[in-house]
A and B are shown apart, each in its own frame.
Chain A
C-alpha cells in the first residue's frame, strides 16, 4: 500500500524527548517483566538453587555449566534441538516457498479455495491440533496406521521409536507451520514488480531461469530474515515436543526448551534448568549475529 514512506523522520537528527511518553509503558514492561526476570534467571544459573535449597542457596559460579557439559546431556539435547529446528525449517521453508510459487502463477483457478484450505492448520489453535495429531499417530489405535493398513502397510511406531518420533514431530510442525510460510513468501513474491518478470521472459528465461535470476536474488535478504527467525521460533517451540511426545521415548525428543521445563518442573533443579536456558539464548544470539554478518538480513528492518 504505502510503501517506503516512513523513513522521512530519520533525516531529522533532532531528538524528540516527548516521544518517550508514548513508549514509557512498554519500557516499564520490558524492564519489570523481561530484563529483571532475565537477570534473575542468569543469576540463578550461577547458584545451586533446587528443591533442596529453595530459599537458602549459594552462588556456585559456573559449576552448573560444567556439570551439564561434562555429563554430555547438554550436547545430546543441543544436537536434538538442532535436528528438530534444522529439519523443520528446511521442510517448512521449502514447502512454503514452493506453494507460494505455485499459488502465485497468473491465471490459476481456485486460488481462493486453496488459500482458505491452507489457512486451516494455522487458524485452528495449535494446542488442540497437536493433541489431535497425537491421537492420529497412535500406534495401536491411531487413524494413520488404520489408513495405511488399507494398503497392507504394517503398523508404524510413529511416536514410540526415537528416530521416527523426531520425524513425526517435524511432520506435525510442517503441518502446523507451512501456512505461515506460504503467506509470508507469497507476500514477498508479490513485492517483486511484474515488469521484471516480463522483461526476463522476453529475454527468453524459462520458469527456473526467472526464479534463479530475478526472484531469488531480489528476495535474498527477506528470505534469510524469514528463515532465520523461523529457525529461532522453532528452536523455542514448546508445545509440539511437549504435547506430542513429552521428550520420549527416553530422552530422545527433548529439545532445549522442553528439557529446561523438565529439569525445572520435574527434577526441580532450578539452577541447572536456568543454565540450559542461558546456553540456548547464547547460542541463538551468536547464531543471529553470525548470519547477519553474512546476509545483512537485519536491513529489512529499516
Chain B
C-alpha cells in the first residue's frame, strides 16, 4: 500500500503488513465497541434503578425505610404484596381517590386544553402571518420562559384574592394554562415554520378560505408538536407543589403533589415507606407509560423545533 514497487518479495511483505494492520484496527474497533456497551449499560442501570427500586418497594411488605436492604431489592414472587396500595387508598378517609386524583386531573386537563388552543393559534399567527413586532414577541416568549415563577406568587395572590379566585378551581387553572402557553406557543411556532406552505396553498386553490386551510390542513400536520406540548404542559400542573401550596388552603382542593408531600412527611423515615412507594408508583406510572408510548413524537417534536 505504501510502496508501489512490484517486486515479489515486497508483495509478501506488504500482505503481512496490511494483515497485521487490519488485525490491529479490528482489535481497536472491538475494544471500542465493548467499551461503548459497558458505558451505555452502566448509564442505563443508573437511569433505571430508582424507578425499579420504588416499584419493588411498593410491592414488598415493607415496614419502613429501615427495612429496605440490598437483598430486599431482589424481586421475590412469594413476598409479593399489595398491602401498601390498600393502605394508601384508605389513607386520610380516601382523600386520594375522592379529592387529590380528580382535582389533579381537572387542573391539569383543563389547563392543558386551554393552553394548547391558545398556543397553537398563536403559533399559526406567528409563523404564517407577517405580524408587526413579531420578532419582539418571540424574544419575549423566550425570555419570559426563563423567569422564576416565585416572583409571580405574591402578585398572583393579590390579583386572585381581589377577584375572589383563591381557593377555587379557576384560579389555579388560569395560572396553569398561562404557565403552559409560553413555551408551547414558542414550540408550535418553530414547528409550523418547518412545514411548507404548499399544503395550505393547494387547499386554498381547491376553494378553502385561508382560515379554513389553516385550521383543517395545517393543524392536523402539527401532531408531533401538539403531543409534545400536551405532555409538557400537562406535567407542570400535574406535579405542581410550590404554587398550589400557597393558593389553596382547603384539603378538598389539594392535588396529588400536595397529598404526596404530606404522605412523605408523615412516612419520611420510620413510619410507612411502603405507602410512599405505592403513592410514587400510582402517581408516576401513568405519566411514565404515556411518555414511553409517545417517545417517537417527543424526539421528533424536539429535534424539529430546536434546529433549523
Contacts and interface: CB of A to CB of B under 8 A. Distances in A.
A160 B132 CA distance: 54
A187 B301 CA distance: 10
What does DSSP make chain B's interface, helix, strand, loop or mixed?
A: helix
A14 interface: yes
A131 interface: yes
Interface stretch (B10-18, B85-93, B95-103, B188-196): B188-196
A301 interface: yes
B193 A34 contact: no
Contacts of A118: 43-44, 47
A125 B178 contact: no
A213 B233 CA distance: 39
Contacts of A178: 43, 47
Interface in B288-308: 288, 291-292, 295, 298-300, 302-304, 306-308
A114 B150 contact: no
A236 B146 contact: yes
A290 interface: no
B299 A19 contact: no
Interface in B156-211: 156, 158-159, 174-175, 177-178, 181-182, 185, 192-197
B239 A288 contact: no
Interface in A124-159: 124-129, 131-133, 135-136, 138, 140-143, 146-147, 150
B280 A131 contact: yes
A2 B125 CA distance: 19
Nearest to B41: A114
A4 B308 contact: yes
Interface in B234-257: 235, 238-239, 241-242, 246, 257
Contacts of B241: 127, 239, 243
A190 interface: yes
A52 B303 CA distance: 51
B217 to A, nearest CB: 14
Interface stretch (A21-29, A60-68, A196-204): A21-29
A131 B177 CA distance: 26
A122 B154 CA distance: 30
Contact of B131 (A20, A105, A175): A20
Interface in B14-63: 36-37, 39-40, 43-44, 46-48, 50-51, 53-54
B129 A29 contact: no
Contacts of A131: 260-261, 264, 276, 280
A233 to B, nearest CB: 7
A116 interface: yes
A210 interface: no
Contact of B194 (A1, A34, A186): A1
Contact of B306 (A119, A179, A188): A188
Contacts, number: 287
A141 B66 contact: yes
A274 B47 contact: no
B299 A141 contact: no
Contacts of B291: 119, 122-123
B9 interface: no
Contacts of A135: 65, 68, 273, 276
Nearest to A8: B197
Interface string B137-156: 11011111011111111111
A120 B48 contact: yes
Interface in B246-289: 246, 257, 260-261, 264, 269, 273, 276, 280, 283-284, 287-288
* A-B interface, 6 closest residue pairs, ranked by CB to CB distance from nearest: A19-B129, A22-B125, A6-B193, A187-B303, A123-B291, A37-B155
Interface of A: 1-10, 12-23, 25-27, 29-30, 33-34, 36-38, 40-41, 44, 99, 102-103, 105, 108-110, 113-129, 131-133, 135-136, 138, 140-143, 146-147, 150, 175, 178-179, 183-184, 186-188, 190-191, 222, 225-226, 229, 232-233, 236, 238-239, 242-243, 256-257, 260-261, 264-265, 270, 273-274, 277-278, 280-281, 284-285, 288, 300-302
Given A16-B129, A40-B158, A129-B284, 10 more contacts: A2-B194, A5-B195, A7-B193, A110-B37, A127-B260, A190-B303, A238-B149, A238-B242, A261-B150, A261-B153
28 contacts: A1-B300, A3-B194, A12-B130, A16-B129, A17-B132, A19-B125, A23-B126, A25-B121, A26-B121, A30-B141, A33-B178, A34-B144, A38-B147, A103-B40, A109-B37, A116-B292, A116-B295, A118-B43, A120-B288, A125-B238, A132-B54, A183-B303, A186-B299, A186-B303, A222-B307, A261-B242, A265-B246, A277-B150
